[in-house]
Amino acid sequence: MSRLSTGLRRLVIRGQLSRPLALTVADLRERWPQRRAEVVFDCATNGPRRHTFEGPLLREVIAEAGPAFDARRRKDRSRFLLSVTGGDGHHAVLSWAELDADFGDSPILLATAMDGHGLDDAGSQLVVPSDRCGARYISAITGIWVGACAVPGEAEFPRG
């Protein structure tokens, strides 16, 4: 059997973390509370699409990996980014502030099921319920990188 058909597809969470993680869809289902999101996204090319997703909150999974920011300092947390990559190479960038309860508090999921069907063989899917268009719905997630946004240098943003 291939790795894909046995449900052992893993997503790797790495970057500026104390505890990088490698997780299967089953890990996501078993280790964190599952949330439900009923979404409609409407992209110009396909028209409205309705789906129901279940999975843990992305912020809870990333929190377990131990992002390298001082959780007590809002400004430290607000400079962190997440880059999510799918099996087809598609990727999207999110800010920690979108997820953080002190900022956007967005219930972004790492889906373990879509429309009642488990995603064990396909891989987890990023679900951003507030998006009108589904372009950040990354399928078959292979990796999530977490890290601080670099401060632009003087050459990029001269004082004027």
| DSSP per-residue string spanning 84-135 | EEETTS-EEEEEHHHH-TTTT----EEESEETTEE-TTT--EEE-TT-SSGG
pLDDT tens series, the chain, 160 aa: 334 444 578 999 999 999 999 999 999 999 999 999 999 988 777 778 899 999 999 999 999 999 998 777 878 888 899 999 999 999 999 999 999 999 999 999 999 999 999 999 999 999 999 988 878 889 999 999 999 987 776 556 666 5
pTM for the full model? 0.87
Reported CATH class of domain 11-148: alpha beta
Would you say 55 and 113 are in contact if contact means Cβ atoms under 8 Å apart? Answer: yes
Structural tokens at position 86: 């799918």
- pLDDT at residue 126, rounded to an integer: 96
Q: What is the pLDDT of residues 51-73, one digit of tens each?
A: 999 999 999 999 999 999 877 78
- Give the separation between CA 156 and CA 152, rounded to whole angstroms: 6
Element (H, E) at 25: helix 25-31
- pLDDT at residue 154, rounded to an integer: 57
Domain residue extents for the chain: 11-148
